[in-house]
Amino acid sequence: MKTLLIGEYREGTLLDSTYELFGFADQLGADAALFLVGSDSRLPACNCPVYLADAVSCSEYAPDLHKALIVEVVAKEKPDYIVFQHSSYGWDLAPRVAAALKAAQISEVVAIQEEGVFEVCCCNGKMRRSVKSTTAQTVITLQTGAFPLRQSEGNPQVIEVVAGSPGTMEFVGYEPAEEKGVDLTKADVIVSAGRGIGKKDNVPVIAALAKALGGELGASRPVVDAEWVAHDHQVGTTGQTVAPKLYVACGISGAIQHLAGMKKSDFILAINKDKDAPIGEVADVLVVADVLQFVPAFTAALGK
């Protein structure tokens, strides 16, 4: 079985998520070749052909042009699967490639099931579907984080790909993310401080972890009432109700008023000295430790 993996490159960086594509190919037990619009100074570590188009001349975003190049490579490589990340680049490009190839597309795969059947998310992530393609070639997009990052040593065999005609769109450039006020309901990661952190001076320890995880600072009510953190960070009945991908509860006992505000989070990590703290009832992982010892060590480890 053969896969053509579509890597991603942005603003001078080869995105790590590219290695999840290899992780998928491994699980499938398939050979891989990579297609990338990028730079020869940022090649992936892999032992396989890398069809490389130059990001400067082909533009980082020119989906009709990228599609045309991929279709050429597909004609050469004849893969069974053309695999994208389900990212803003991937979900934009994949259907165009699928339509050009008259191939089925299966989006946001979370698992490989039996022969040719893939599991995908649906209904806002609450449910799953098993989907099968009926075409010889199939376009796949992978849910971020669903497949392991696989790096291998090796030297890629670079095959240069040159664009024919230019695309029909003009990529004007990137705009940085806006500075916004705190909106916990939109955060993917929230790290919350509870009374167990001890005193106001320790809030920065928790905030540092939030930053290291690319998330927002949350707080339980007692911490807000004591004015250690402002009210717009409060999670719970009288604060905000949140459901991020990761919720880290630091020194929070888990009173019902707080639980009601965060128990629908995808993954809950709690750090508490008390093994029997009620937060343990909703936590996926309860770390029994002193918050002020665990959190700085954890933040430091993330920085590496």
Partner 1 sequence: MIKDEATLNVMVDTISQFVKERLIPIEEQCSENDQIPHEIIDEMRELGLFGLSIPEEYDGLGLTLEEEINVVFELCQASPIFRSVIGTNVGIGALGIVIDGTPEQKKKYLPKLASGEIIGAFALTEPDAGSDAASLRTSALKDGDHYVLNGTKRFITNAPEASVFTVFARTDPSNKGASGVSAFLVDKGTAGLSLGKNEKKMGQWGGHVCDVIFEDCRVPADALIGLKEGVGFKTAMKVLDKSRTHISAVCVGAATRILDEALRYAMDRKQFNKPISDFQLIQAMLADSKAEIFAAKSMVLETARKYDLKKNISTESSCCKLFAAEMVNRVADRAVQILGGSGYIRDYAVERFYRDVRLFRLYEGTSQIQQLIIARNMVKDASRS
Partner 2 sequence: MKILVCIKQVPDMESRFRPDAAGTWFVEADLAFRMNEYDEYAVEEAVRLKEKLGGAPELTALSIGPDRVLEPLKKALAMGCDRAVHVKDAEVQNKDPWQIASIIAAYAKDQGFDLIFTGMQSQDRGSAQVGGFTSELLGIPCVTTLVGFAYDNGTIIAKRELEGGARGVVKLKSPALVTCQLGLNTPRYPTLPNIMKAKKKEIVTLAVSDLLKAEHLTKTTSFHPPAKKGGGVILEGEVPDLVNQVLGILKERTAVLR
What six digits make up the tokens of 98? 């699928």
| Least distance to partner 2, CB of residue 188, Å | 7
What six digits make up the tokens of 128? 């799953």
Q: Which stretch binds partner 1 (CB under 8 A): 28-36, 57-65, 176-184, 251-259?
A: 251-259
Q: Is 289 exposed, middle or buried (0-12, 13-18, 19+ CB in 10 A)?
A: middle
* Nearer CB in complex with partner 1: 222/278: 278
What six digits make up the tokens of 63? 């989906």
Q: Which stretch binds partner 1 (CB under 8 A): 60-68, 131-139, 157-165, 253-261?
A: 253-261
- Those residues whose C-beta lies under 8 Å from the C-beta of residue 286, and which sit 6 or more positions away, are 270, 271, 272, 275, 277, 279, 280
According to the binding rule CB under 8 A, does residue 256 interact with partner 1? yes
According to the binding rule CB under 8 A, does residue 260 interact with partner 1? yes
Residues numbered 267-296 forming contacts with partner 1, rule: CB under 8 A: 278, 281
| Least distance to partner 1, CB of residue 276, Å | 12
* Residues 205-244 as x/- pattern, contact with partner 1 by CB under 8 A: --------------------------------xx------
Q: Which does 185 bind (CB under 5 to 8 A by kind): partner 2, partner 1, none?
A: none
According to the binding rule CB under 8 A, does residue 149 interact with partner 1? no
Of 26, 43, 45, 30, nearest to 148 by C-alpha is 26
Alpha-carbon distance values, 169 to 39, 88, 100, 166, 286 (Å): 21, 17, 18, 9, 50
Of 252, 232, 250, nearest to 242 by C-alpha is 232
Of these, 36, 94, 259, 295, which contacts partner 1 (CB under 8 A)? 259
| Least distance to partner 2, CB of residue 220, Å | 19
